Amino acid sequence: MHINPIQLFDAESSTYTYILAAANGEAAIIDPVDRHCERDLAHLRRLGLRLAYALETHAHADHVTSSGRLRELTGALACAPSGCGIAPADRQLEDGELVRFGDEQITVLHTPGHTAGSVSFLWRGNLFTGDTLLIDGCGRTDFQGGSAGALYDSVHARLFTLPDATRVWPGHDYRGQSVSTIGWEKRHNARLAGRGREDFIALMAALDLPQPKLIDVAVPANRRLGLAHAA
């Protein structure tokens, strides 16, 4: 058993994928990326792990998931947040739900804002925030039902109320940072620390970001778990 998650990186989209392992050899993977399916399977083989679950934090706009393919190849169950329109998932995750594998459990926290359905996952004091909370930043809030006000509330009411020592494992990082803590982000996050709700909403509205290059391809593909056709 590893008490830390195994963190894997996709350099094209700066996406982090995480593997969590239980003592009995069962594992869960969070936000796997299509082009790294073989790499991720090789990690599981090398570590003698059986994949029980593939979990999505949301329907991504910047890369395509390998959850559907991993399900085919390993028999893992695909789990997606109920509010993300990912119909072929084996489980539609609701706020507060537990995903159990071996002696381990992952708690689902609905943290809307980046997208309406976005969730974070909590496991052994490790928080996997998807694009809700990034290290010294946060995900954009201008598409897929995104809402700056909802993101602010999710972070302040749900995430910043967790213990300061909770480790923050983001869905992306663009500057080579790999892990942070709730205490650090509460005090130093450039967008969220010490900023009022209206100020944050105005800041997000002023970002004026270009559409992600892959959004028209990636979101529909991710709603099929990355498979060419609905499973």
Of 104 and 185, nearer to Fe ion (C-beta) is 185
Residue 94 near residue 83 (C-beta atoms within 8 A):
no
Listed ranges 2-10, 128-136, 185-193, 219-227: which one lies at the site for Fe ion (CB under 5 A): 128-136
Residue from 74, 85, 209 nearest 138 by CA: 209
By the rule CB under 5 A, 131 interacts with Fe ion: yes
Residues 47-66 that bind Fe ion (CB under 5 A): 60
By the rule CB under 5 A, 185 interacts with Fe ion: no
Residue whose entry in the numeric block shows the structure tokens 């997208």: 115
Distance CA 208, CA 37 (A): 33
Q: Is the dihedral of CA 99, 103, 104, 110 positive or negative?
A: positive
**Residue count at the site for Fe ion (CB under 5 A)?**
2
Distance CA 151, CA 113 (A): 4
Of 27 and 55, nearer to Fe ion (C-beta) is 55
Query: What's the closest the beta carbon of residue 103 comes to Fe ion, in angstroms?
Result: 31
By the rule CB under 5 A, 104 interacts with Fe ion: no
Which residues of the chain form contacts with Fe ion (CB under 5 A)?
Answer: 60, 131
